[in-house]
Amino acid sequence: MAYVGEIRALPYDFSPVTDGWFWWMPCNGRLLLLQDYQMLFAVIGYRYGGAKETFALPDLRGRLVAGTGPGAALGQKVGQMEVTLTDAQIPTHSHDLQAFHVTSASQMQNEPAGTAGIARTFNQFDYNNTAGVTTVPMAGTILSPAFGSGTGGANPHTNMQPVLAFDYFICFSGDFPVRPQKAD
């Protein structure tokens, strides 16, 4: 036997039958008539939705069950299946720009090498072999508004821990859970 309102995770995709009677319904958010399920309504009320003549079963499809406490009250849904990160949530980081002064074509023959340089052929680079060219220190200089600007498409990513899925069922006919008397 079970208490009215008791929820169990079961490895079935059907409501189990006990002694020829249905005692369990899937926790799928379905609306029920108060007049048909008065004992269950007395236990869970409108906690999971509904109004006036109807009340809702908890909807545990695609959800994990967690204990109540800071951040989650009894019957409250929290969390998201997908999350779109904001700039404030991405760790501070930087990207290096490697540059060098080119005065002859021979300096370009092996570029890019390794992870340095830009993926361009020699003919795509402009270089200056004029005598008297002065290099300019670039530390801390923003070369272009496009350099170092944000990237990405702001698309959400899946935010789900690994799970093993079971169906949840709620008991609607069984022993009525009696609240203990408060001590004076």
* pTM of the entire predicted model: 0.61
Q: Are residues 49 and 1 in the same domain?
A: yes
Residue 31: per-residue pLDDT: 98
- CA–CA dist 66, 59 (Å, integer): 14
Task: Please report whether residue 125 resides in a domain.
Answer: yes
Q: What's the farthest any 2 CA atoms get from each other in the chain? A: 99
Q: Are residues 123 and 169 in the same domain?
A: no
Q: Are residues 126 and 168 in the same domain?
A: no
30, burial (CB in 10 Å: exposed 0-12, middle 13-18, buried 19+): middle
Instruction: Assign 95 to helix, strand or coil.
Output: coil
pLDDT tens digits in sequence order for the chain, 184 residues long: 789 999 999 998 888 777 667 789 999 999 999 999 999 999 999 999 999 999 999 999 988 888 888 878 888 888 877 888 887 777 776 666 555 656 666 655 555 555 554 545 545 555 555 555 556 666 666 665 555 555 666 777 777 788 888 999 999 998 899 888 887 6
Note whether 25 and 173 are within 8 A (CB): no
Task: Please report whether residue 21 resides in a domain.
Answer: yes
Q: What is the CATH number of the domain that holds 15?
A: 3.90.1340
pLDDT (tens digit per residue) in 132-164: 555 666 666 666 555 555 566 677 777 778 888
Task: Please report whether residue 35 resides in a domain.
Answer: yes
Q: Are residues 3 and 52 in the same domain?
A: yes
Residue 133: per-residue pLDDT: 55
- On the CB side of 62, CA atoms within 13 Å amount to 9
Residue 94: per-residue pLDDT: 67
Number of domains in the chain: 2
Q: Are residues 8 and 47 in the same domain?
A: yes
Q: Are residues 131 and 168 in the same domain?
A: no
Nearest-Å Rg of the Cα atoms of the chain is 32
Q: Are residues 2 and 59 in the same domain?
A: yes
Task: Please report whether residue 169 resides in a domain.
Answer: yes
Task: Please report whether residue 106 resides in a domain.
Answer: yes
Q: Are residues 169 and 133 in the same domain?
A: no
- CA–CA dist 42, 177 (Å, integer): 10
Q: Are residues 57 and 18 in the same domain?
A: yes
Q: Are residues 5 and 58 in the same domain?
A: yes
Task: Please report whether residue 90 resides in a domain.
Answer: no
Q: Are residues 60 and 1 in the same domain?
A: yes
Tally of CB atoms within 10 A around 174: 17
Residue 127: per-residue pLDDT: 53
Range of the structural domain that residue 122 is part of: 100-137
Task: Please report whether residue 156 resides in a domain.
Answer: no
Task: Please report whether residue 52 resides in a domain.
Answer: yes
Q: Are residues 56 and 1 in the same domain?
A: yes
